[in-house]
Amino acid sequence: MEKHLLEIKNLHVQYNTDEAVVHAVNGLSLTLDKGEALGIVGETGAGKSTTALSILKLLPDKVGEITEGSIVYDGIDIIKANNHTMREIRGAKITMIFQDPMSSLNPIMTIGEQIHEVLELHFPKMSAAEKDQKVDEILGLVGIQKTRKNEYPHQFSGGMKQRIGIAMALVAEPELLLADEPTTALDVTIQAQILQLMQELQKKYNTAMILITHDLGVVAEFCEKVAVVYAGEVIEQGTVEEVFTREKNHPYTTGLFNSIPDLTSDVERLIPIPGFMSDPTNLPEGCKFAERCPHCTERCRKEAPKLYEDGGHSIRCFLYETKGGQ
C-alpha cells in the first residue's frame, strides 16, 4: 500500500479542566496524501481545531491531553516525537494559518523581519541576500508590494494580515498546510481573494492542505476531499463530488445541507437539525448523533456505528451498513 503523508488513527484528545473532562476528539481517523486538499467541516465544538493543534503538538499544556491513537507524519510518530523534532517539523514541514491573523504576527517586528526569521530558523545556511530575495518573492506571490515589508502588522488591514500569515506559512515551502478557519473573520469579497490565493499557491508548491471550516460552500469550492466531523468523530468522508451530490449522506450532513438557505433555489422553510450537540463532558454511548437524528433506532442508542465504506466514500451510520466496516 502506498504510504500517506499524514495518517491519523483513532485519535482521542481530552481537555482536563477544573470542572470536568471535556472529550474533544473521540477516535478520529484521517489520511492525507501529498498535494491533496482536505476540508474538515463541522460546527463549534466538533473537535476540528483540536485535531489541527494535535498534529502540531500545540495543545495547551497540562490541560489538553492525547489519550489514545497515533499521528504519523511522513514516517515520524508525532505523539512520541520530542520537542527538538517538533520544532524542526513546525514551520518547515507543517505550518498553520490561524483564524485571527493577528495572533500569528508579532506586533513589534516588521513583516519583512518576521518572514526573514522563519527562513533563519529553518534554512540557517541560506545567505542573507538569498533570504531577502525569498522574502520579496513570497510577498509578491501573496500580493503585497515589497516596499511595504518594513511596515508593522497594525498598518495592514485584516485581509492583508491574512496574506502575510499565508506568506509566513508558505515561505519555507512546507509539505502540509493547516488552515484553521482562515477566512471566517473576513468579508466575503476578501474571503474569495484569500481562498483563491491559497488555492493557487497550494497548487504551485504542491502542498497538502487541511482546510478547517464551518462553511460547506468553502469546502465545495476549494477542496478535493471532505471529512465531516461531529462530536470528535469523522461521520462522513469522501471526495467533494461524492459528498456534495447529496445522493448518499450521513443524516447529519443532510441536516447541514438543509439548514443553509440556498442562493439559487427557493425554499419555503429551512429544515434545521433539532436539538443541540451532545455535551462533550458527557457523551452518549451509541451514535453521538442519535438524539437529533430522524432515522434513529433502538440500536443507534446502544451501539456506536462504524464507518461503512463504499468506494472511497464512507459514512458512519447503520443506514449504510455493509459487511466489515472500519
Partner 1 sequence: MAAPLIETRNLKKYFQTPRGLLHAVDDVNLTINEGQTLGIVGESGCGKSTLGRTIMRLVEATDGEVLYEGEDILKYDKKQMKKMHTSMQMIFQDPFTSLNPRLSIGEIIAEPMKVVKNVKGKEAMKQRVHELMDMCGLPQRYYNTYPHELDGGRRQRVGLARALALNPKFIVCDEPVSALDVSIQAQIINLLMDLQDQHGLAYMFITHDLCVVRHISDFIAVMYLGQVVEYAARNELFAHQYHPYTVALLSAIPTPDLSRRNRERHLLQGEVGNPINPEPGCRFASRCKYATEACKAPQQLREITPGHFVRCHMAKS
Partner 2 sequence: MSKKIKKKTNLSNKSQLGMIVFRFSKNKLAMFGLAVIVILALLCVAAPLYIDYESVYQQSMADRFILPCAEHPLGTDQFGRDLFARIIYGGRISLLAGLVVVAMALVLGIVLGGIAGYYGGRIDNVIMRICDVFMAVPRMLLSMAVVAALGQGTFKMLIALSIAAFPGYARTVRASIMTLRNQEYVEAAKCCGTSSARIIFKHVVPNGLGPVIVSATLGLGGTILAIASLGFLGIGVASPTPEWGTILSENRANIRYYPYLGLVPGMFIAISVMCLNFIGDGLRDALDPRMKN
Q: Nearer Cβ to partner 1, position 203 or 276?
A: 276
Q: Which of 133, 145, 150, 281 binds partner 2 (CB under 8 A)?
A: 281
Start-to-end C-alpha separation, the chain: 17
- The interface partner of residue 126, options being partner 1, partner 2, none and the CB cut-off 5 to 8 Å by kind, is none
Q: Nearer Cβ to partner 1, position 169 or 273?
A: 273
Residue 65 within binding range of partner 2, rule CB under 8 A:
yes
Query: How far is the C-alpha of 43 from the C-alpha of 17, rounded, in Å?
Result: 21
Specify burial of residue 325 (Cβ count, 10 A radius: 0-12, 13-18, 19+).
middle
Helices (H), the chain: 48-55, 83-89, 111-122, 128-141, 158-170, 188-205, 216-222, 240-244, 251-259, 298-302
Residue 103 within binding range of partner 2, rule CB under 8 A:
no
- The interface partner of residue 127, options being partner 1, partner 2, none and the CB cut-off 5 to 8 Å by kind, is none
- The interface partner of residue 33, options being partner 2, partner 1, none and the CB cut-off 5 to 8 Å by kind, is none
- The interface partner of residue 84, options being partner 2, partner 1, none and the CB cut-off 5 to 8 Å by kind, is none
- The interface partner of residue 108, options being partner 2, partner 1, none and the CB cut-off 5 to 8 Å by kind, is none
Given the rule CB under 8 A, which residues bind partner 1?
43-44, 157, 159-160, 187-193, 195-196, 214-222, 240-241, 244-245, 255-264, 267, 269-274, 276
275 contacts 295 by C-beta, under 8 angstroms:
no
Q: Nearer Cβ to partner 2, position 62 or 125?
A: 62
Nearest distance in Å: CB 78, partner 1: 29
Q: Nearer Cβ to partner 2, position 18 or 268?
A: 18
Nearest distance in Å: CB 62, partner 2: 8
Query: How far is the C-alpha of 54 from the C-alpha of 178, rounded, in Å?
Result: 11
Q: Nearer Cβ to partner 2, position 280 or 305?
A: 280
Q: Long-range CB contacts (< 8 A, 24+ apart) of 296-301? A: none
Least Cα distance to 198 among 162, 241, 240 occurs for: 162
Cell of 5: 503523508
Residue 10 within binding range of partner 2, rule CB under 8 A:
no
Q: Nearer Cβ to partner 1, position 153 or 174?
A: 153
For 268-287, b/e burial (b = at least 16 CB within 10 A) is eeeeebeeebbebeeebebb
- The interface partner of residue 147, options being partner 1, partner 2, none and the CB cut-off 5 to 8 Å by kind, is none
Q: What is the dihedral of CA 112, 118, 123, 129, to 10 degrees?
A: 0
Run of H or E including 124: none
Q: Which residues bind partner 2 (CB under 8 A)?
A: 16, 18-21, 60-63, 65-68, 281-282
